[in-house]
Structure 1
Amino acid sequence: MTRSNAISRISLRISMVFILCFGFSAWTLAALTPVQQAAKERGIMLYNQYKPAEKELRIAAEAGDAEAQFYLGEELRHKHRHMTAEARSFLEASASQGNLYAMIRLGNSGSGLCNVLGNCPAGFKSQEGWLREALRISKEQAAQGDPEGLYILYKVTGDFDSLIKSAEAGFPFAQYWLAQRYHNGDGFFWLPWQRRQEIERWFKAAAENGHPQAMVEYAVIVYENGGDMPVARHWIEESAKTGFQIGVAHLATEHAHLRTYFGFPLDLVKGYGLMSLLLVLDVGGGTLDSTKHNLIEMIKKMTPEQIEQGKAFALEWQAANPRPISFFPMMLDPLDSF
């Protein structure tokens, strides 16, 4: 069975941030109050669930938090499906505090209307200016062997060698994307098995460094290779513990025996409880219908008592694994073109 066919059959589709600019001195270097910090955390949670997060993120962003400013800029950009003036202002505020991801987003999103009209204010940094700034800083970090700096350098320049160095230095996002690049045919290998070996190596490394998507990918590789099923089951369960939607969905359907690839024992109570956790993803992501369908199929096999036990198990799981259920969207998704 080919990798692509196996992923299709198992329904695995991988659908994590991090005072140079004029005009934002009131928004910089702020310490958040407990209320503002709570709003920021909730806003990021909602953003990762593809739910409206503007109200919560704005509280921390307007208080000067660079990370919240980045997320709010992205939220506004996605909401309007283009780079609005307000989205740009928050991304510039974040970038002015050194957020390299904001710099890259600005560098890849055009220079704004004022650049087109030729009437930009003094101190305005152009698209090319932000990319130069990100390049300068990431080069400095990369020269010191900083793993994330090497990854940012790759994001700015596309230099494949920087991605490899970042992965070798242990940065999980680089390890995940290196595996994906190899899977997509990038890089040179004398023999096919060498490519497969490197894909497995880097998905495994990213999984061990806490990357939820990589955990699922590595479990699939173990399954495809007819390998150690306890290892595959371990990584599906670890992914679910992070709150990653695909990991939770797989663990739930495996325990309910709606699908049986990894050999989990039948446990309708666990399956129902885990699947019910995904009901929180009721706005974006397109998973709500399948979640409801799976719950209906489970209920057909369950007694009322088991259903109540499943609800109790869901609460126990949340208490033991408090990270919110999430789609874990990639930062600076390469498929994100607007």
Structure 2
Amino acid sequence: MLFKKSVLAALLMWSLNSWALPADIQAAKDEGMRLWGISEWIEMQPYLEQSAEAGDVESMYYLGEATRLLGRGLTTEAMEWYLKAAEQGDPYAMLRLFQGGACIGGKCPEGSDDWREAALGITLPKAEAGDPEAMLAMYYIYANLDASRLTSVYNFLGIPTRAGKWLKRAAEAGLPEAQTRWGRHIMNGRGWYFTRSRRLEAAESWFSRAAEQGYVPAMEKMDYVNREQQDFEESWRWRQQASNSGNIDSRLGVGWCYLDPSHDEEWCPNEQDKTKGWAILYAMSHELGGKGAEDIMDWNREKLTADQKLEAEALAEAEWIGRHPPLSRFPHRFGF
């Protein structure tokens, strides 16, 4: 169905919900988003359905994301959730709708650009007025429109494209998500840096700005760039900070380093604490299941006595399980 101009005009209000949800509904949303962070796409849905039914646009969008990922594509059910969010002015939902089959086999029916134009119309005025979140949305809009991912930030001469310019503006405006993404583009070879050390320094400067604001994915990148620069003490400091903030991979690395620092002495500059390491991994296994933490525990099972394991499990119950920020993979809001 083609949109009428009056419908598109109504979408240009960016009417994302700004009211507070009732406490019980907010708790349900929080649990749904926690499950989203660990890729539990089925389990999260009953919780976010409660907040979506209460009018929470973000919940509608992430229900669309979960349904899309479960269905390995833009299924009818996913499109229905995106449509609900888009009708409330969510530009990311509009982009998903634009991706969802308006153009088939290289042929686009008349009016297929409506959602793309709606996303631009709703976002551009706010971005030009200085809203960093809107600037970041403009990056995703233009990156989505580029002919290929290779040109989504820089063209072949290394000159930022429209997408790259908006991303950099959002980063310069202080938005940590944009700062981290801009740093990642630098790490991935974008821009003119004639030595690896200069590239690492440039990326680190952006990751540092975001990490100092408490943005956990940037803390993980600070661990990485400091390791690449052979500053293992600083790398370890950031890995601990990311772990304490809930990053799954960082928590796994910290637990392994405490349990057996000899497995990588440069990566693990800490003193061994087998009880603490086992406690961290036991807590992760308890909260997440899966094979990551359990594999490391299996490899090191003979290093602890039965009493030490019991002590570690008690420590996990007292200090880790349910007593730290929720574990998360911190997925991108507009990922693959």
Establish whether TM, by shorter chain, passes 0.5: yes
Distance of 2:176 and 2:70 partners within structure 1: 29
How many residue pairs are counted as aligned between the two chains?
Answer: 298
3-state SS, counterpart of residue 39 of structure 1: helix
Out of 14, 19, 30, the position equivalent to 1:41 is 30
Which residue pairs with 2:313 in the alignment?
A: 311
3-state SS, counterpart of residue 243 of structure 1: coil
RMSD over aligned Cα atoms: 2.9
Evaluate the alpha carbon distance shift between residue 89 and residue 28 of structure 1 in structure 2; reply closer, same or farther with a 3 A threshold: farther
Amino acid at match of 1:225: Q
Evaluate the alpha carbon distance shift between residue 30 and residue 200 of structure 1 in structure 2; reply closer, same or farther with a 3 A threshold: closer
Evaluate the alpha carbon distance shift between residue 238 and residue 127 of structure 1 in structure 2; reply closer, same or farther with a 3 A threshold: farther
Q: Does 1:166 align with 2:170?
A: yes
Evaluate the alpha carbon distance shift between residue 28 and residue 188 of structure 1 in structure 2; reply closer, same or farther with a 3 A threshold: closer
Distance of 1:189 and 1:226 partners within structure 2: 19
Cα distance, 1:326 vs structure 2: 1.7
Distance of 2:331 and 2:29 partners within structure 1: 17
Cα distance, 1:235 vs structure 2: 0.7
Structure 2: tracts of 5 or more residues without a match: 1-8, 144-162
Q: Does 1:89 align with 2:95?
A: no
3-state SS, counterpart of residue 303 of structure 2: coil
Evaluate the alpha carbon distance shift between residue 294 and residue 100 of structure 1 in structure 2; reply closer, same or farther with a 3 A threshold: same
Cα distance, 1:319 vs structure 2: 6.9
Distance of 2:277 and 2:55 partners within structure 1: 43
CA distances 1:241-265 after superposition (whole Å, capped 9, x unpaired)? 1211101001101111244313111
Distance of 1:109 and 1:281 partners within structure 2: 32
> Identity over the aligned pairs, expressed in percent?
27
Out of 118, 124, 135, the position equivalent to 1:133 is 118
Question: How do 1:123-272 residues align onto structure 2 when only pairs under 5 Å count?
Answer: 128-158=113-143, 159-189=163-193, 192-227=196-231, 229-257=232-260, 258-260=263-265, 261-272=267-278
Amino acid at match of 1:198: A
Distance of 2:272 and 2:284 partners within structure 1: 20
Under a length normalisation based on structure 1, what TM-score does the superposition of the two structures give? 0.79
Structure 1: tracts of 5 or more residues without a match: 1-18, 22-26, 121-125, 283-287
Amino acid at match of 2:320: Q
Contact 2:283–2:321 (Cα < 8 Å) also in 1: no
Distance of 1:205 and 1:192 partners within structure 2: 20
Which residue pairs with 2:51 in the alignment?
A: 60
Evaluate the alpha carbon distance shift between residue 62 and residue 151 of structure 1 in structure 2; reply closer, same or farther with a 3 A threshold: same
Amino acid at match of 1:183: M
Amino acid at match of 1:64: G
Cα distance, 1:91 vs structure 2: 1.2
Which residue pairs with 2:158 in the alignment?
A: none
CA distances 1:52-71 after superposition (whole Å, capped 9, x unpaired)? 22222222212221111111
Cα distance, 1:31 vs structure 2: 5.9
Contact 2:102–2:108 (Cα < 8 Å) also in 1: no
Out of 281, 304, 311, the position equivalent to 2:288 is 281
Amino acid at match of 1:163: L
Distance of 1:30 and 1:145 partners within structure 2: 23
Cα distance, 1:83 vs structure 2: 1.5
Under a length normalisation based on structure 2, what TM-score does the superposition of the two structures give? 0.79
Evaluate the alpha carbon distance shift between residue 195 and residue 315 of structure 1 in structure 2; reply closer, same or farther with a 3 A threshold: same
Distance of 1:84 and 1:68 partners within structure 2: 18
Distance of 1:195 and 1:38 partners within structure 2: 43
3-state SS, counterpart of residue 246 of structure 2: coil
Which residue pairs with 2:301 in the alignment?
A: 299
Contact 1:244–1:325 (Cα < 8 Å) also in 2: yes
Distance of 2:243 and 2:190 partners within structure 1: 30
Contact 1:166–1:174 (Cα < 8 Å) also in 2: yes
Amino acid at match of 1:80: G
Cα distance, 1:178 vs structure 2: 1.0
The higher-RCO structure (CA 8 Å, 6+ apart) is: 1
